Amino acid sequence: MNYPFVMLVFVTITSAVMVVSHRNIIHAAVFLGLSFVGVAGMYLLLNAPFLAGAQVLIYVGAITVLILFSLMLTSQRIMREPRNALAYRLLSGAVAGVLFLMLVWTAWQPVWAVKPEVALETQNQVYLSQLADGLLGAYLLPFEIASVLLLVALVGAIVLAKEEREA
């Protein structure tokens, strides 16, 4: 019984549920950030400290803020959004539920090639230097493409969000 794990799970899942169900959208955005944090904690448990940090930085720090800003910019007088029809929600829940069940079933298959010695080890971390070597070594191409992607996204977002101005 790994208490940290359980707590993190609780936080994450609960926050996620609040994200999708809370009527107040701002609250939902905050809960989103909280769930990001929970996920970051789980990264730590999984020997990925850098990623945990990156997660917090980017997700919580940038994306959540971005979301909040855009919520501000697109604010409506009523921040509470109306519910969908019950039937629709049930249907969506059903779809999601079924999907969950199937994934769970899959997850519990004993086919995953888990190396037993690794499963028990807790000390093996992936160091930042290793990551850096990898990023600029074996995975250089994706790295570069990702940077291009960021550039494109940047440009695109600016263009899209730009106000029409009389030239």
Do 64 and 55 form a contact (C-beta atoms < 8 A)? no
DSSP-derived secondary structure for 34-74: HHHHHHHHHHHHTT-HHHHHHIIIIIIIIIHHHHHHHHHHT
**Which of residues 11, 53, 86, 146 is near another protein by CB under 8 A?**
146
Residue 68 CA to residue 32 CA, distance in Å, equals: 10
Q: In the complex, what is the shortest distance from the CB of residue 166 to another protein, in angstroms, rounded to a whole number?
A: 15
Q: At 24, is the secondary structure helix, strand, or coil?
A: strand
Q: In the complex, what is the shortest distance from the CB of residue 110 to another protein, in angstroms, rounded to a whole number?
A: 9
Residues 80-109 that bind another protein (CB under 8 A): 81-82, 84, 88-89, 91-93, 95-100, 102-109
Residues 29-88 that bind another protein (CB under 8 A): 29, 32, 35-36, 39, 42-43, 45-48, 50-51, 54-55, 58-59, 62-63, 66-67, 69-71, 73-74, 76, 81-82, 84, 88
Binding of residue 123 to another protein (CB under 8 A): no
